[in-house]
Structure 1
Amino acid sequence: MTGKTPSLPRCAALVGPFAAGKTSLLEALLLRAGAIARQGRIKDGNTVGDASAEARARLMSVDPTIVATDYLGEKWTLIDCPGSVEFQQDTFNALAIVDAALVVCEPDPARAVMVAPLLKFLDERRIPHMLFINKVDSAGTRLKETLEALQGVSERPLVLREVPIREGDKVTGFIDLVSERAYKYQPGQASDLIKIPDAIKDEEQLARQEMLEHLADFDDHLMEELLEDVQPPKDEVYDDLAKDLADDLIVPVFFGSAETDGGITRLWKALRHEVPAPTATAARVGFANGGPSIARVFKTVHAAHTGKLSYARILRGEFADGQQVDGSRVSGLYLPAVGGPAKAAKVALGEVAAFGRLDTVNTGDVLGGEAHGGAAWPAPLEPLAGLAVEAEKKGDDVKLSGALVKLCEEDPSYRLENNAEFSELVLWGQGEIHLLVAFERLKSRFGMAVVTHKPTVPYKETIKKATSVHGRHKKQSGGHGQFGDVHIDIRPQPRGAGFAFEDKIVGGAIPRNYIPAVEDGVVEFLKQGALGFPVVDIAVTLKDGSFHAVDSSDMAFKTAARIAMVEGMPQCEPVLLEPILQVEISVPSDCTSKAQRIISGRRGQILGYDGKEGWAGWDQVSAYLPQAEMGDLIVELRSLTMGVGTFSWRFDHLQELTGRAADKVVEDRKASLAKKG
């Protein structure tokens, strides 16, 4: 075999859509490797993966499970990644450091589109990957149709590595297309070697020829052998499979059943013989072999007893507990074992380890001095849904902020926004479940009970007509009094022009030193106008006034300016401005009309649509959408697109909102302000 050093520890990620059976496959692989004595079941809550309370409650992965094991004397780290698109950041980060990915899917052609975004990510980064079609023991499995549908969403050719043996409508075994040996599944043990059934010999030969032709596309010598009807040696075929996988030229396809142990040994053999070595992976992600030790952090966890743990893949050299790394001392080094993190004195090339208490290190960082080395790290996913959050217990605001910062360290697709304008702390994430899991973790891990509500939509207000107004503040209370007197003009400005203040005082009607206080008074009022929202696109001119030699002060003139604004603004026909976002919705082409209906049903304006660049069979719909209509957009979009639809957004402009809708917004705002006191 070429292109790998099997003795080096390797790492593979199990990825795929929600409910494809990745966690069950991890159990089956660990059982076959001898790491566990009995295969757990998700419904029984006894699997190695999905061990957190949040995962158990939902019967789904909400963070990656990282497990080290041995198979036939070789070290492996398996990373079972969440299938839900709401937790995809962890998946992308794990894929950035593995030697290969095992994409798990169901034998249902209609669900093939669910793996499209994942395959796109793998191909863009040239990450070697195999496909494992799970649950083939169920009746009515349509492998051929499934394979055709999967090829429709894969940029790389899918190379079938085995053909099914059926009894009735159930798959009970397979024929390996390289060794041309047939096996019958035996639940709980290795498959039995059997004679190739006569009924499928022709199908096997046809499939084998197709596999060889795929390989010959990248091997001139093999092409010559096929043209001359020479049967290539099996070792040559295996070498081509390993090389083409490592170069991300092909996607080998296997099938089986994780829950009944079908095809698991065959899968282990493929991983063992064909997955590239960590030296090849390091080169692929931009780190040359030789030089100082380096590791890349792909997951951060704040654990209850050990503190901050930085999970990293060793891509060169080795690391020891207690050594200095980038100015910090490693305080604890752990290997991810089945029973939990196991302390280690040293870790070497290829291994995955948790580094303790590297407080200044973040996910994506390179340990070992090459701070700017390596391939670009997966960017944090753009926020798609947000909730305002506050501590249930008064006085816990600082504690809450600290806990939220830690959650954002663990999962960079969370984003924390401190909205000073409305005094709100908003946590943004990838969807409803993603946010709920965060709030549950705040309580279970940080002891923070919280209350949440929809974020305040950042409406603004402006005016439609001009006015002139007089503001006077006079107060006498013994000794020095307070006196400020201003005459101002208020007028609207074009949309987007902002605020302007002009001083036209002549003849010393107001001393120059008091004029900034007048502007301060106006600006303070504009934070909350007549309708209860910040005021924009307005100009104020100070044109006259008077002062008292003894009683005038900055505060008196500031107060006089506020009085003038309070009196004058209602005369200017204040109007509500609604924030409008430009939204780019990405969906498979057969869902484009559904996306357009979603936009129309949310007071949106469709700007057009076109094919999504670089995505065969996908469209991108552009639209203007009121921010008030964005709350559950991602929930509806995913429900209509089998979970794969998504969008990006940015603020575009403010637009007048009138009528009953505007009245309701103003009423709600006044009620909210009254509640806050």
Structure 2
Amino acid sequence: MGETFSHEARARGSRLIALAGPFQCGKTTLLEAILASNKTIAKQGSVADGSSVGDASPEAREHKMSVEANIAAVDYMGDRYTFVDLPGSVEFAHEARNILPAVDAAIVVCEADERKVAALQLTLRQLEELGVPHLLFLNKIDAATIDVRDALTILQPASRAPLLLRQIPIWSNGVAVGFIDLALERAYVYREHAPSEVVEIPQGEAALEKEARYSMLERLADYDDALMEELISDIEPPRDQVFDDLTKELRGGLVVPVFIGSAERGAGVTRLLKALRHEAPGVAETRARLGVAENGPPMARVLRTTHTSHGGKLSIARVLRGDVADGQTLRSPQGEDRVSGMSRFAGAALTKVTDAKEGDVVALGRLEHAQTGDTVIADGKADIAGLATRARAPDPVHALALVVKDRKDEMRLAAAMAKLVEEDPSLIFVHDQEMSQIKLYGQGEMHLRVALERLQSRFGVTVEVSRPIVAYRETIRHKVTVRGRHKKQSGGHGQFGDVVLEVAPRERGEGFAFAERVHGGAVPRQYFSSVEAGCQDAMIHGPLGFPVVDVEAVLTDGSYHTVDSSDMAFRTAARIGMSEALGKAEPILLEPVLAVDIFVPSEAMSRATGLVSARRGQIIGFGPREGWTGWDRLEALIPEAEMDNLIVELRSATAGAGFFQSRFDHLAEVVGKQAREIVAAHSSQPARMAVG
């Protein structure tokens, strides 16, 4: 539009911009509008009808939601931008953990909806902690029913930094038909899927514009003494100075500029892009934020990993320093690989290139050692420890047990899941030997559903799912003394072992203990270890059918035969005696109980306590969540058997924002009808074979 700015011109370079924000606020639609505004695509598509560039995977199309990061690049006024559209659902929010550290800035897409403020706070807090400059795009302004300043009042609690209104809407018959840019003091009228048209500031809006602009300048003056002096002296600051302050305070995280528009109509997109062009930092600032030196060998950060059906493994990486060439050897913390094929984003498609410049986002082929979040460097000796390290995957909150429909697929299942876990480090795939189950852990019901859909569509492996088996235990109430005797004569040497065992309960969590108080050599010392092993054999499956814990066995007496006694004979005698003792000592059933920390918006606390109570939970304590305005923390003890679908109900009660962390705490006795039902159900199951 011909604006000129006096602040220092930056080296344009290629910039990486994240689109973040709560679920269903319009991030993918905004990406579509950006691509259409630059003629990167001929026509803006729609998420609803499955014609958008983003959310192109079968799973995203099926569920009409982002289930992975979408990446697309555009050229705008001589600068190259790569946009990464991050999923808004908290179940897929882990995608952002390894991407956001490497972006130059983020556009947080939101709407004036009080129900989504908690989810917005989750996004903003992550950006704040990473130090990523960010601005807000207040979307769906054409459907807004409240004043934009009232909207900021609703949204402000989500942000630590002040929200700075950069534009105000122009209303006509209750509909936002354009906006006034407070920095430029210029009015624009929206045009459907086209740049807005510059118009005179409407007569009825002039006073409101002056008031809003002064409020913006007052906020900027909090960090600029010269500007404060000008305002006090009623001196109109030069426009260049205003833009200098806007740039400095955005990059410093001192304010969060707020722009308005409608992604679906393509309204407000041009001004948003121009703000990025002039005010957002570039790769040099991002490199400094990450602690990467300006000079040194070429370096990149792996943002995502994907496995293609024909091209093998692709590492989507952002070049942080220097230039990277196809065929170059790059080292990750796990080892070295030679780049085999390199592609750059043209829109959302990939085109082959021979090298990548500083700031570019490219797909690197066959970096077999590199993992998502790794720093890779073109130097076999340079120290990369601590530079842009891989983000820790979030703790799982939901689990499923898997059984392949066709046993021939068991090996294929392991290989396919290894690739899915490499693409998505928040998935955990385990073979539980004790429970003889294959388990998949993740971030929620939809997260695991999408993973299993990919398992079937991409790798042809179909599984049946069920709830994981709870690892019940049993112990005893009383102390008993028994004799275990094993005698067998079958020609030649026989077998003879005879032991007297005193078996007693121990305190919860103390485990198994063995001791001997044998006098007069009734049982030779050489057989003590065999007696201990026999006791442990009997504890694998107690009288109720579960592993036995927290008992003590003391060998007090016995007898032996000089010819027929052996290690195996005494082990068998001890197993016989221990099994009898456990049955006589009043066995009781134990269940694992988890310590659960639940985090919810304060208004949802009563619903969270209700969920705990309905699951035989015990509330230990509650109070404000430290460092989080408007959030509470609930501490509880909940039986593991009651944890199924807790995350589903918790998110339903908190508009998708609530979450929990859990860990094993102790074993607790199960009594009455519930204990009888558990034992009966367990005894009716067929014998389980360990999964190899």
TM-score (norm. length: structure 1): 0.97
Q: Which residue of 2 aligns with 1:146?
A: 151
Alignment check: 8 A CA contact 2:436 2:688 kept: no
| Structure 1 unaligned residues grouped into runs of 5+ | none
1:631 corresponding residue in structure 2: 644
Is 2:112–2:154's contact at 8 Å kept on the other side of the alignment? Answer: no
Give the direction of change, closer, same or farther, for the CA distance of 1:398–1:508 in structure 2 (3 Å limit). Answer: farther
Pairing partner for 1:205 from 195, 205, 210: 210
- Given residue 523 of structure 1, which amino acid in structure 2 is its aligned partner? Q
Aligned residue among 53, 74, 94 for 2:99: 94
Equivalence for 1:362: 371
User: Is structure 2 residue 137 aligned with structure 1 residue 132?
Assistant: yes
Q: 2:354 aligns with which of 322, 345, 352?
A: 345
Are positions 1:501 and 2:506 aligned together?
Answer: no
Structure 2 residue 298 is the aligned partner of structure 1 residue 305: no
Partner of 2:264: 259
5 Å matches for 1:96-111?
Answer: 96-111=101-116
Which is further off, 207-216 or 377-386? 377-386
Offset, 1:50: 0.6
1:602 is paired with a residue whose SS is coil
- Partners in 2 of 1:105 and 1:190 — Cα distance? 21
In the alignment, does 2:36 pair up with 1:31? Answer: yes
Aligned length: 677
| 1:417-432 matched pairs, under 5 angstroms | 417-432=430-445
In the alignment, what sits opposite 1:523?
536
For 2:659 and 2:202, locate their aligned partners in 1 and report how far apart those are by CA, in whole Å.
47
**Structure 1 residue 612 and structure 2 residue 625: aligned?**
yes
Indicate if the aligned counterparts of 2:301 and 2:388 stay in contact, CA closer than 8 A: no
Q: Is the 8 A contact 2:436 2:689 kept in 1?
A: no
- Quote the offset at 1:379 in angstroms: 2.2
Task: Give the ranges of 4+ consecutive aligned residues of structure 1 lying more than 6 Å apart after TM superposition.
Answer: none
Aligned-pair CA distance for 1:572: 0.6
Q: Distance in 1 between matches of 2:303 and 2:127?
A: 16
Q: Deviations over 1:131-175 (max 9, x none)?
A: 011111126355332211111211011111111011112111001
What is the identity, as a one-letter code, of the residue corresponding to 2:622?
Y
Shift of 1:395: 4.5
Contact 1:2 1:243 in 2 (8 A): no
Q: How many Å separate the matches in 2 of 1:667 and 1:332?
A: 59
Give the alignment partner of residue 567 of structure 1, picking from 562, 580, 602.
580
The answer to whether 1:54 aligns with 2:59 is yes
Paired position in structure 1 for 2:341: 332
The amino acid that maps onto 1:267 is: L
Deviation of 1:363 after TM superposition, in Å, equals: 1.6
- Equivalent of 1:169, from 167, 170, 174? 174
Quick one: which of 383, 407, 419 aligns to 1:406? 419
Alignment partner, residue 610 of structure 2: 597
Which ranges of structure 2 fall in alignment gaps of 5 or more residues? 1-5
Cα distance 1:121–1:86, how it changes in 2: closer, same or farther (>3 A)? Answer: same
- Secondary structure at the counterpart of residue 44 of structure 1: coil
State the alpha-carbon separation in 2 of the partners of residues 176 and 153 from structure 1: 24
SS of residue paired to 1:42: coil
Q: How does 1:221-236 map to 2 (within 5 A)?
A: 221-236=226-241
Distance (Å, rounded) in 1 between the aligned partners of 2:370 and 2:688 = 42
**Partners in 2 of 1:201 and 1:673 — Cα distance?**
79
Structure 1 distance, partners of 2:609, 2:506, is: 35
Residue in 1 that maps onto 2:3: none
Report the AA paired with residue 196 of structure 2. S
SS of the residue aligned with 1:137?
helix
1:67 corresponds to: 72
* Alignment match, 2:119: 114
1:294 paired with 2:299, answer yes
Q: Relative to 1, partners in 2 of residues 1:143 and 1:377: Cα closer, same or farther, differing over 3 Å?
A: farther
Moved more, 549-558 or 409-418: 549-558
Of the three residues 409, 428, 445, the one matched with 2:458 is 445
Distance 1:514 1:285 in 2: 62
Cα separation, 1, equivalents of 2:147 and 2:462: 48
1:196-239 Cα shifts (integer Å, max 9, x gaps): 11111111111111111111111111111111111111111112
SS in 2 for 1:465: coil
Q: Go from structure 1 to structure 2 and tell me whether the alpha carbon gap of 1:139 and 1:232 turns closer, same or farther (over 3 Å shift).
A: closer
Q: Does 1:191 align with 2:200?
A: no
Letter in 1 for 2:549: V
Deviation of 1:396 after TM superposition, in Å, equals 3.6
Task: State how far apart, in whole Å, the 2-side matches of 1:662 and 1:559 are.
Answer: 30
Structure 1 range deviating more: 130-139 or 313-322: 130-139
Which whole-Å CA distance do the structure 1 matches of 2:41 and 2:98 have between them?
A: 27
Contact 1:482 1:552 in 2 (8 A): yes
Residues 530-545 of structure 1 aligned to structure 2 (within 5 Å): 530-545=543-558
Q: Which residue does 1:82 correspond to in 2? A: 87
User: SS state of the match for residue 407, structure 2?
Assistant: coil
Paired with 1:25 and 1:459, the residues of 2 have a C-alpha distance of 50
Say whether the 8 Å CA contact 2:302–2:372 is kept in structure 1: yes
Match of 1:250 among 232, 239, 255: 255
1:37-93 deviation per Cα after TM superposition (whole angstroms, max 9, x unaligned): 011111221211111111110000000011122112211110011110000110232
The verdict on how the C-alpha distance between 1:3 and 1:17 changes in structure 2, with shifts beyond 3 A counting, is farther
Cα distance in 1 between the residues matched to 2:98 and 2:383: 18
Aligned partners of 1:184 and 1:192 also within 8 Å = yes
Secondary structure of residue in 1 paired with 2:351: strand
Q: Give 1:238's aligned residue.
A: 243
Query: Which amino acid letter does the alignment assign opposite residue 164 of structure 2?
Result: V
Q: 1:129–1:245: 8 Å Cα contact kept in structure 2?
A: yes
Once residues 321 and 656 of structure 2 are traced to their aligned partners in structure 1, the CA distance between those partners, rounded to angstroms, is 38
Q: Aligned-pair distance for 1:376?
A: 5.5
**Amino acid in the other structure paired with 1:33:** N
SS at match of 1:621: strand
Gap change, CA 1:445 and 1:663, over 3 Å in 2: same
Other structure's SS at 1:598 match: helix
CA distance in 1, matches of 2:571, 2:406: 37
Give the letter aligned to residue 317 of structure 2. A
Q: Is the 8 A contact 1:3 1:243 kept in 2?
A: no
Give 1:509 deviation, angstroms: 2.8
Structure 2 distance, partners of 1:109, 1:557, is: 71
Map 1:360-399 to 2 at 5 A. 360-368=369-377, 369-374=382-387, 377-399=390-412
Separation in 2, partners of 1:505, 1:487:
9
Counterpart for residue 5 of structure 1: 10
**Matched letter for residue 461 of structure 1:** E
* Residue in structure 1 matching 2:676, options 652, 663, 673: 663
Aligned to 1:489: 502
Cα root mean square deviation, aligned: 1.8
Does 402-411 or 147-156 show the bigger shift? 402-411
Mapped contact 2:532–2:574 kept (Cα < 8 A) = yes
Deviations 1:247-274 (A, max 9, x none): 1111110111111111111111111111
Greater Cα shift, 50-59 or 348-357: 348-357
Determine the structure 1 residue equivalent to 2:654. Answer: 641
Cα deviation for residue 575 of structure 1 reads 0.7
Give the superposition deviation at 1:667: 1.6
The one-letter amino acid of 2:103's match is V
